[in-house]
A and B are shown apart, each in its own frame.
Chain A
Amino acid sequence: MKNLFITFLFATLIASCNNNSSQKLPILGRHEYLETESGTDTVYHTIKPFSFVDQDSSVITNDTYNGKIYVTDFFFTSCPSICPIMKVQMLRVYNEFNADSTVMLLSHTIDPEYDNVEILHNYATRMEVNSSKWHFVTGEKNKIYDMAQTSYYIATRENESAPGGYEHSGAFILVDNLRRIRGVYDGTKAEAVDELMNDIKTLLVEVNE
């Protein structure tokens, strides 16, 4: 009971901190500081260049998201565990920002051997989403895993004992127009995705300044 009270207290405190909507979102990841003649420059962690293929066989790269902000996740179509919940939540983001072309989505398969273009095409068609806004991508497995680990800081690995054979994070990652990570959210929780949608609105103000 005492724990519950303390949790509640913290939740209230955190909620009251978040009320300031004019605040900018933090820039996440490891920062580097470069000494220059005029002082110190901060270099932020950015998403590395990538090249994958989406559900329409289009090549998808950083340039596809040029000037956009996007939410990304990692899943696989035959996933029996958290993926359908993540997709229900991602669909909420899709519907909320359907009319705003600045907001895009990017879902990577972590099972590219099975999830080829045709499987992803069927999946996206059944999801009833527009492929110009929401790309489901496949590609070389080690490149997808490398992006997950080194660019988005997501742990993903094969594990025979996990449901469906893969262990993976349910995180949604918010990336800004300068390829910087601005938020990480639990894509299996409706409240966390509410927060993500609020943060997208905050970020849109900054991007449109």
Chain B
Amino acid sequence: MNKFWLVILLIIAWACGPGSGNSTYQSLSDADQAKFEKYMILGKEVYSSKCSNCHQIDGKGLQGLIPPLATSDYLQNNQSAIPCLLKAGSKDSLIVNGRSYPPQMPAHDISNLELAEVITYINNSWNNEYGFMPVRKVDEILRECD
């Protein structure tokens, strides 16, 4: 029964997937396109369980308290800092779209693969087009975290 729903889900995801509109997707090899699609589905699950309480389902955050992920210059311009930020949290204020947010990003117990999935999901949801984050890149970046 579960398998049946998974197949249905995958078909729906394939049919409504990131496909033609997203320039990141179009620039990938066939193998990476398949990975990208999988990351988008699994990344959404990671997002729902670890991120959306604060950043909200629509990625808009909360007023001046929790920064938006949908249309975020910080996210766009600091891709190589994001895996470390998600994993270790931050005790510094963050400036997003010209506005300062309080230092409240908690550390997360999260695997490298989950990081790759959720960052790819955030990078390519809500009209964001901030690129594909494969797990090999997360591995590389995490070795360099402070």
Residues of A that sit less than 8 Å from B by CB? 78, 80-82, 84-85, 87-88, 91, 122-123, 125-128
Residues of B that sit less than 8 Å from A by CB? 53-54, 56, 62-66, 102, 104, 106
State whether A127 and B106 are in contact (beta carbons under 8 Å apart), knowing that A82-B53, A84-B54, A88-B56 are contacts in the complex: no
Looking across the interface, which residue of chain A has its beta carbon closest to that of B56? A88
Closest 4 CB pairs of A and B: A126-B64, A84-B54, A126-B65, A127-B63
Q: Which residues of B contact A78 (CB under 8 A)?
A: 104
State whether A80 and B56 are in contact (beta carbons under 8 Å apart), knowing that A88-B62, A91-B63 are contacts in the complex: no
State whether A85 and B53 are in contact (beta carbons under 8 Å apart), knowing that A80-B106, A126-B102 are contacts in the complex: yes
Looking across the interface, which residue of chain B has its beta carbon closest to that of A78? B104
CB <8 Å contact, A80 and B53: yes
Q: How far is the CA of A136 from the CA of B23 in the complex (A)?
A: 45
Q: Which residues of A contact B102 (CB under 8 A)?
A: 122, 126
A10 CB, min distance to chain B CBs, angstroms: 23
Q: How far is the CA of A81 from the CA of B50 in the complex (A)?
A: 9
Looking across the interface, which residue of chain B has its beta carbon closest to that of A126? B64
CB <8 Å contact, A128 and B64: yes
Q: How far is the CA of A128 from the CA of B99 in the complex (A)?
A: 14
Looking across the interface, which residue of chain B has its beta carbon closest to that of A127? B63
Please name 30 pairs of A and B residues whose Cβ atoms are closer than 8 Å in the assembled complex, sorted by A. A78-B104, A80-B53, A80-B54, A80-B106, A81-B53, A82-B53, A84-B53, A84-B54, A84-B62, A84-B65, A84-B66, A85-B56, A87-B62, A88-B56, A88-B62, A91-B62, A91-B63, A122-B102, A123-B65, A125-B64, A126-B63, A126-B64, A126-B65, A126-B102, A127-B62, A127-B63, A127-B64, A127-B65, A128-B63, A128-B64
Q: How far is the CA of A55 from the CA of B67 in the complex (A)?
A: 22
Excluding A84-B62, A85-B53, 16 further A-B contacts by CB distance (< 8 Å) are: A80-B54, A82-B53, A84-B53, A84-B54, A84-B56, A84-B65, A84-B66, A85-B56, A126-B64, A126-B65, A126-B102, A127-B63, A127-B64, A127-B65, A128-B63, A128-B64
Q: Which residues of B contact A126 (CB under 8 A)?
A: 63-65, 102
Q: Which residues of B contact A81 (CB under 8 A)?
A: 53
Looking across the interface, which residue of chain A has its beta carbon closest to that of B104? A78
